[in-house]
Amino acid sequence: MLLNAQVQLGNLDYAIMIIYVLFVLGIGWTLRRYMKTSKDFFQSGQSIPTWITGLAFMSANLGALELVGMAACGAKYGIATSHFYWIGAIPAMVFLAVFMMPFYYGSKARSVPEYLKLRFDERVRCLNSISFAVMTVFASGISMNALAKLLNQLLGWNYHFGLWICSGVVLVYVLKGGLTSAIYTEVLQFFMIVLGFAPVVYLGLQDAGGWGSIKTQLTQVASHPAALNLADDASKTFGANAWTSAWQPLLAGPANNPMGVDWFAMVFGLGFVLSFGYWCTNFLVVQRAMAAKNMNSARNTPLVASVPKMILPILVIVPGMIAVALMSMPNKDYRLPQAQIDSSKYPALTAIVQQAAGNPPTDAAALKTLVEKLNKAGDVGFNSAKVAELIKTSDAAQLPAKLQDAVANDYDGVILSLVKRYCPMGLLGLALTALLASFMSGMAGNVTAFNTVWTYDLYQAYMAKDKSDAHYMWMGRFITIVGILLSIACAYFARMYNNAMDIIQLVFGFVNAPLFATFLLGMFWSRTTGTGAFVGLLGGISTSALVHGMTLAEGKGGWLGVHLYNFPSTMAQNFWLASFAFIACFVLTAVISLSTAQKKTNDELKGLVYSMTPRLTDTGVAWYLRPAFLGTILLIGCVILNIIFF
């Protein structure tokens, strides 16, 4: 998230920021009276109204990194990014509401790992809770590092000051109000984001001449994406609708869409395995639904969340598309953000370019070597299509400008570049507070999920079994402080070892990929045994690691030294890897379950498995509030959206 120029905040901007902080602290302070038992602290006393749990459910995932990342994808891939929403999130959320929530909420489990313990055994819970606990700490560390960096680059705040102050605010309100605080501030953050970014998107749309004009511009961009550094190969062209249609470029094959993904990987890998795996099993989001006041409310939570989720692409993906359209209009004087080359690097870069000009690279491998040399000398990333062009320049005076133009786009800066372009003092404060809010509520969400899993699934399960409720409450508060300190440590770690962080996130990807197979079999097939689930999970995790180790994509993977296949993009690799992991886990779990004895009796499985649980009758609930009805409406809405943007 590199930003070239700082912005000047006025008193009004700071006032808005301070008002927000005071309100979240005030919410935490007011809620402290209601934190009497550990159930209040970890589960909000299961008393939260549906609209709040629903908005929090969606908002827990709408962290700042999601905002920044989706705008980046909007610029890189166009409207196809909406697949993350319309075939990814929504069907998974409907499935969770209609089919899975009855078992989570009905089983009286207090967390997702605890459900696994009830359904399978300690081993499965242990594997899930430890990996989840570590993952939440890292996720919150990564996001806090991004926040502190952003405050440093944008506002000139000291990195350490920004990191500790923001963490301190989160610490205070989570300590005071527990999960309720986190949920309430997530809802507040949701409104901040919508109301803070909507005017920016509106102004961007106006500036670019409306949606029709943006589509026309993107059609031109698609015919020569390398002109805007959107492709690495100067001769690359896409079909006219590559940025503006969600399905046609996908169906035309990986070479015809900027994502480089085939439709099967998209539908099965992303739409089924990854999305269902995230939305239906990740305790961070499921915890919100489990805090609802009754079964119907818990089931409706993901459905309430689906409504804003469905229209969110306007707020998060469209800005990226606006940015690309603006850049292709010369009179708008806009450029996708880039890292700036330090002026002291030019002599070294010029020398490399002049040397290459005498001996131009003849094939892709030689060009790649040249680009890597330039990257090292300039301490930035270069776009290879522009570099290939650049070495033909004979005029040395033009070289610095051409070199700067050849720097790869910093897509993560898109959203902020628009905020800076359109916001006067006042609105600027609102938009930046919205961003700050989403970073902080992201941390709070991770910390509350972490303290619950730690206290119930690790501490109570393995260290201190029969202590008083007050003791677990104390532990929850104590581990909240520890969790925040660990997050801060992770933020520093992420700041220093960027590459190590990439590897850690990769490993989490391996761990999460097969999870949904375990839940699917566990909930809907009573024959699934603990051993089957445990071995299946391990098998799925190793499968995804193996696939990653034996395939290549954009130079990534292949660390086993065997290259069986070359994926057109890392995204395709990621989707396929998840698909293989899911299938391996599914098959292994099924086969081993059939050959091992079921240790759980039918009575123990009641409320945990579909066939052993009495059908839920939605009597007493108006037909239009029943999950099955609402879910159907939402799915129809998704189909319509997919048809409109086909």
Partner 1 sequence: MGLDLRIPIGLMFSLVGILLAVYGFMTKANTEIYKRSLDININLVWGLFLLVFGVIMLVFAMKSAKQSKPDQQ
Min. distance of Cβ 335 from partner 1 in angstroms?
A: 16
Min. distance of Cβ 181 from partner 1 in angstroms?
A: 10
Residue 601 burial (10 A CB sphere; 0-12, 13-18, 19+): exposed
By the rule CB under 8 A, 608 interacts with partner 1 = no
By the rule CB under 8 A, 325 interacts with partner 1 = no
Question: Stretches 27-35, 100-108, 335-343, 622-630: which one binds partner 1 (CB under 8 A)?
Answer: 27-35
By the rule CB under 8 A, 335 interacts with partner 1 = no
User: How far is 97 from 302, CA to CA, in rounded Å?
Assistant: 6
Min. distance of Cβ 642 from partner 1 in angstroms?
A: 31
Min. distance of Cβ 561 from partner 1 in angstroms?
A: 54
Applying the rule CB under 8 A, the residues between 223 and 252 that interact with partner 1 are none
Look up residue 457 and give its amino acid.
D
CA distances from 192 to 148, 359, 436 (A): 20, 55, 10
Min. distance of Cβ 586 from partner 1 in angstroms?
A: 40
Name the nearest CA neighbour of 428 among 163, 155, 159. 155
Q: Which of 20, 42, 278, 582 binds partner 1 (CB under 8 A)?
A: 20
Q: Between vectors from CA 231 to CA 229 and to CA 234, what angle results, nearest 5°? A: 90
By the rule CB under 8 A, 598 interacts with partner 1 = no
By the rule CB under 8 A, 199 interacts with partner 1 = yes
Residue 595 burial (10 A CB sphere; 0-12, 13-18, 19+): exposed
Applying the rule CB under 8 A, the residues between 414 and 453 that interact with partner 1 are 421-427, 430
User: How far is 121 from 115, CA to CA, in rounded Å?
Assistant: 10
CB of 12 or CB of 227, closer to partner 1: 12
| Number of residues engaging partner 1 in binding (CB under 8 A) | 35
User: How far is 536 from 640, CA to CA, in rounded Å?
Assistant: 37
Other beta carbons within 10 Å of 30: 14
Q: Which of 3, 39, 45, 516 binds partner 1 (CB under 8 A)?
A: 45
Q: Which of 34, 525, 610, 629 binds partner 1 (CB under 8 A)?
A: 34
By the rule CB under 8 A, 16 interacts with partner 1 = yes
CB of 230 or CB of 437, closer to partner 1: 437
By the rule CB under 8 A, 12 interacts with partner 1 = yes
Q: Which of 8, 195, 264, 463 binds partner 1 (CB under 8 A)?
A: 195
H, E, C per residue of 392-411: CCCCHHHHHHHHHHCECECH
Other beta carbons within 10 Å of 10: 12
By the rule CB under 8 A, 203 interacts with partner 1 = yes
Structure tokens at 58: 């969606």
Question: Stretches 90-98, 179-187, 300-308, 476-484: which one binds partner 1 (CB under 8 A)?
Answer: 179-187
By the rule CB under 8 A, 23 interacts with partner 1 = yes
Tokens 């606990």 sit at which residue?
133
User: How far is 436 from 146, CA to CA, in rounded Å?
Assistant: 11
CB of 182 or CB of 408, closer to partner 1: 182
CB of 26 or CB of 347, closer to partner 1: 26
Q: Which of 15, 463, 489, 500 binds partner 1 (CB under 8 A)?
A: 15
By the rule CB under 8 A, 585 interacts with partner 1 = no
Min. distance of Cβ 444 from partner 1 in angstroms?
A: 15
By the rule CB under 8 A, 30 interacts with partner 1 = yes
The runs of H, that is alpha helices, within 393-514 are 399-405, 414-422, 427-452, 469-496, 498-512
Other beta carbons within 10 Å of 11: 9
Could you say which DSSP state residue 35 is in? -
Parallel, antiparallel, or unpaired: how do β-strands 556-557 and 565-567 relate?
A: unpaired
User: How far is 609 from 522, CA to CA, in rounded Å?
Assistant: 7
By the rule CB under 8 A, 14 interacts with partner 1 = no
CA distances from 5 to 2, 148, 156, 268, 318 (A): 9, 16, 10, 42, 24
Question: Stretches 16-24, 268-276, 336-344, 372-380: which one binds partner 1 (CB under 8 A)?
Answer: 16-24
By the rule CB under 8 A, 48 interacts with partner 1 = yes
Cβ partners under 8 Å of residue 318, min gap 6: 74, 201, 204, 205
CB of 16 or CB of 352, closer to partner 1: 16
Question: Stretches 98-106, 184-192, 453-461, 544-552: which one binds partner 1 (CB under 8 A)?
Answer: 184-192
Residues at the interface with partner 1 (CB under 8 A) = 12, 15-16, 19-20, 23, 26-27, 30-31, 33-34, 44-45, 47-48, 52, 180, 184, 187-188, 191, 195, 199, 203, 206-207, 421-427, 430
